[in-house]
């Protein structure tokens, strides 16, 4: 049975799709059979971030409507054999997602894959609730600013009341916090909420802190998940996140501004 992970936030633009792509790629690189599904029907982006936009023939909605079978719609990643992408439809709207249809597809995928990563659209409407309904785990992506924190809080409330696990009185969804676009310099100068400030409100299992990084935009534009950029701090932070998700103990990095090292001071002087 696959583990179904939803990447959610409530607020838009916080890094859900970037995170979904990185998590899926990270799991696949560790040999886990992984599929990542774009639930943002009508505003699909995951295919771009994954760099497979020119290979989309059939999509999620086609499979729900049984106009295509799963194998026709799944796109195999060229960089990693264990990773598949199920793109969203760009021409339909989110009402095309039905609980029965989504459930059937997730059930079918569960037979084959180890992990199913669901990239949720922003908001708390139908698309987002469909993405989280069947989840076993939830990664709540949050930026260190008040509106994002409040929206995440709201989303956590919905997760605990409107999911399949809540409705069947099953063990609740495991919730993780991923703090993205973290800028230690701005935190230190008091302009940005710190990890502690955010945790004070959300008090969740902290899966990772992704520093604000130019590498993320570059990676998105080139269609290569940022986790593949092992040189960048964001890529490394996403690598740590995947390790933590799989149960490894990894200390949190990128929490503080780089101290000027002895050598750099020597050379500057």
Could you list the residues that contact other proteins (CB under 8 A)? 150, 153-154, 156-158, 160-161, 172, 200-201, 203
The nearest distance, CB 156 to other proteins, in angstroms, is 5
Tokens representing residue 123 in the block: 């908001």
Q: Give min distance, CB of 196 to other proteins, in A.
A: 13
Based on CB atoms, which residue is closest to other proteins, 201 or 243?
201
Q: Which residue's CB is nearer to other proteins, number 104 or number 150?
A: 150
Cα distances (Å, whole numbers) of residue 263 to 39, 232, 257, 260: 49, 21, 17, 8
Question: Could you tell me the smallest distance in angstroms from the CB atom of residue 189 to other proteins?
Answer: 24
Shortest Cβ 170–other proteins spacing (Å): 15
Q: 121 vs 211, which CB is nearer to other proteins?
A: 121
Q: Residue 30: which of 107, 83, 109 has the closest Cα? A: 83
Name, in order, each residue with C-beta under 8 angstroms of 229's C-beta and a sequence gap of 6 or more.
215, 218, 219, 235
Cα 215 to its chain centre, rounded Å, is 17
Nearest to other proteins of 201, 206 (CB atom): 201
> What is the C-alpha to C-alpha distance for residues 86 and 63, in angstroms, rounded to an integer?
10
Q: How far is the CB of 197 from other proteins (least distance, A)?
A: 12
* Min CB(238)–other proteins separation in Å: 26
Residue 154 or 265: the one with the smaller Cβ distance to other proteins is 154
Taking the least distance from each CB to other proteins, the nearer of 145 and 233 is 145
């Amino acid at each position: 049975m696959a583990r179904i992970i939803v990447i959610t936030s409530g607020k838009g633009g916080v890094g859900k799709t970037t995170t979904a792509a990185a998590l899926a790629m990270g799991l696949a690189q560790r040999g886990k059979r992984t599929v990542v599904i774009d639930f943002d029907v009508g505003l699909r982006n995951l295919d771009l971030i994954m760099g497979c936009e020119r290979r989309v023939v059939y999509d999620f909605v086609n499979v729900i409507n049984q106009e295509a079978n799963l194998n026709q719609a799944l796109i195999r990643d060229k960089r990693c054999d264990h990773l598949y992408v199920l793109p969203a439809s760009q021409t339909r709207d989110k009402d095309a997602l039905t609980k029965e249809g989504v459930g059937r597809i997730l059930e079918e995928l569960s037979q084959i894959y180890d992990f199913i990563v669901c990239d949720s659209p922003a908001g708390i409407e139908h698309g987002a609730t469909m993405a989280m309904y069947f989840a076993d785990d939830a990664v709540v992506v949050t930026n260190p600013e008040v509106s994002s924190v409040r929206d995440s809080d709201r989303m956590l409330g919905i997760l605990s009341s409107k999911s399949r696990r809540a409705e069947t009185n099953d063990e609740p969804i495991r919730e993780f916090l991923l703090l993205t676009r973290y800028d230690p310099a701005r935190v230190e100068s008091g302009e940005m909420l710190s990890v502690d400030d955010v945790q004070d409100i959300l008090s969740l299992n902290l899966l990772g802190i992704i520093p604000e990084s130019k590498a993320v935009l570059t990676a998105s534009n080139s269609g290569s998940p940022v986790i593949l950029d092992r040189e960048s701090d964001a890529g490394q932070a996403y690598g740590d996140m995947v390790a933590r998700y799989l149960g490894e103990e990894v200390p949190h990095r990128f929490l503080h501004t780089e101290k000027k090292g002895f050598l750099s001071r020597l050379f500057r002087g």
